[in-house]
A and B are shown apart, each in its own frame.
Chain A
């Protein structure tokens, strides 16, 4: 085995890159060729759950939004960890249970902290 073999393995990466670009471009181009083209103003407006669009998209968000978003991401990721943990708990045994509980306890402390710092109050 030498460098050549190592880089030969990258052919699959190149193949995936090619397919990743070619498939959406090909599909959209094909669609453009076969579909009827009949634009009118109502059809071109931004679609947002059936509500009429108002204002510009580039608005300033409330700064509290970012902190709440951060909280959300943290607990979202926690669930990502907890699902496989819960499924495999039978095999992990007491060690796994304790490790998971410590993890939850640390996150719980974080939640108590943000509660005290009034992150959860919106004003």
Chain B
């Protein structure tokens, strides 16, 4: 089937989002360069939700000329990502309202282009499509990270991000070039059919390809030892962009790791699986330990979230290493991704609210938040406890399922590492909670009034975190029986 007579309607959501992003971009520069533009934020949220509905309507199976694939896996990840970006934009509207000096329209259109890149990535059935989606996401993220262009830290973070991100992309391309050299095709599906026999002849080159691609993708999902950029970039970026990087970039990165490793590198008889599963297990162990231990020493809330995000990436790697049935592992990861998106974005909504109010982003800005805004303090506690994995929150259910999946695959030691590091993480999450409840507010901090967008985001995230924590069956029953 060639690109001419393919079923292009499968790509409708992407095309619609692309057109809407261009329309918003055009409206932005036609209405003047500067000034507040809240209507563009509202339009962007509507555009993303419309696209999410289109993704749902278009679900099902099909490919376009073996370059673009629509299946349950891509549909689910696209909806998670689109909802995530919509929430990030809701948070951004408050941030941009407080920061007049930031160009507003470009911010929204860059977010939409990044969302488009993430969608292409998730749906790619071809290494080139995957790479184009990845670059669209990455380049938009580089611009967004440096969006406060008169701020030294933002510029520093953006430069670090673009240089290291470019290096990571080069690693991915180098890994892909080995695969292309061996098989003569860039199609993930075609490669997966011949990789087992090629592995017998060229074990060294196939393993090199796996390692190079793992290093490149590892940078995008910030796993140790490729995590060094995360704290600096997270600290320097505008807070909503930090939320974007820690949620959308990371989840999209995990989606392609799953796609590439579970399709291409699984091999037909699981020959290749033994080759990389222990590598990922070791990386997951190191990621969980390093992420959680360094987080203990942080005094800045955004750096804390960066290391916490590194640790969370480690937890998400566990089901990839402990691959017992691929479809089952994917279900576990999708459930934890959903939970992670809502908990992290809820926390970031409150972080944006608090840090923009005080102008500082160390822990002291959270002092006495309970007296200033009880609802926000309680919600923040729930999100942090969820990230730590306390029972009755969705985070506990997600972690418990990861734990069980690791135990079922016979990797009990990996589950043990996860359990111990989770306990360590309680310490730093409780540090923030202690600031909010036990300390007095700073003298010049008065009652904190949340704007509508932040309140809505926090309430939705809180509802999901608690409902999925108390009644996890609502989602698990449904996810566990889909053949991804």
Contact = CB atoms under 8 A, between A and B. Distances in A.
B204 interface: yes
A90 interface: no
Interface string A5-21: 01000000000000000
Interface in A1-46: 1-3, 6
Interface string B189-207: 0000000000001101100
Given A116-B29, A117-B29, A6 B22 contact: no
A34 B204 CA distance: 50
A3 B202 contact: yes
A6 B29 contact: no
B25 interface: yes
A117 B202 CA distance: 53
B322 to A, nearest CB: 31
Contacts of A116: 29-30, 33
A109 B201 contact: no
Given A95-B4, A106-B22, A109-B22, A3 B204 contact: yes
Contacts of B22: 106, 109
B167 interface: no
A112 B22 CA distance: 12
A95 B4 CA distance: 7
A86 to B, nearest CB: 19
Interface string A66-98: 000000000000000000000000000101000
Contacts of A93: 4
A123 B26 CA distance: 25
A112 B202 CA distance: 51
Nearest to B204: A3
Interface in B20-50: 22, 25-26, 29-30, 33
A113 interface: yes
A2 B201 contact: yes
Contacts of B29: 112-113, 116-117
Interface residues of A, number: 12
Contacts of A113: 25, 29
A6 B205 contact: yes
A1 B201 contact: yes
Given A1-B201, A6-B202, A117 B33 contact: yes
A56 B215 CA distance: 43
A117 B30 CA distance: 10
Nearest to A94: B4
Nearest to B105: A113
A113 B106 CA distance: 10
A59 B258 CA distance: 50
Interface in B269-327: none
Contacts of A3: 201-202, 204-205
Contacts of A1: 201
A113 B224 CA distance: 40
A109 B33 CA distance: 15
Contacts of A106: 22
Contacts of B25: 109, 113
Contacts of A6: 202, 205
B54 to A, nearest CB: 19
B30 to A, nearest CB: 7
A94 to B, nearest CB: 10
A21 to B, nearest CB: 24
B116 to A, nearest CB: 12
A109 B26 contact: yes
B228 to A, nearest CB: 28
Contacts of B201: 1-3
B107 to A, nearest CB: 14
A95 to B, nearest CB: 6
A14 B29 CA distance: 52
Contacts of B204: 3
A114 B225 CA distance: 39
B184 to A, nearest CB: 13
A1 B204 CA distance: 14
Nearest to A99: B3
Nearest to B15: A102
Contacts of B26: 109, 112
Contacts of B4: 93, 95
Contacts of B3: 95
A6 B181 CA distance: 10
Contacts of A117: 29, 33
A117 to B, nearest CB: 6
A113 B24 CA distance: 12
A31 to B, nearest CB: 38
A109 B18 CA distance: 13
A117 B103 CA distance: 11
A106 B29 CA distance: 14
B17 to A, nearest CB: 14
A101 B234 CA distance: 39
15 contacts: A1-B201, A2-B201, A3-B202, A3-B204, A3-B205, A93-B4, A95-B4, A106-B22, A109-B22, A109-B25, A109-B26, A112-B26, A113-B29, A116-B30, A117-B33
Interface of B: 3-4, 22, 25-26, 29-30, 33, 201-202, 204-205
The 9 closest A-B pairs by CB, nearest first: A116-B29, A113-B29, A95-B4, A2-B201, A1-B201, A3-B202, A117-B33, A109-B22, A109-B26
Given A2-B202, A93-B4, A113-B25, 12 more contacts: A1-B201, A2-B201, A3-B204, A3-B205, A6-B202, A106-B22, A109-B22, A109-B25, A109-B26, A113-B29, A116-B29, A116-B33
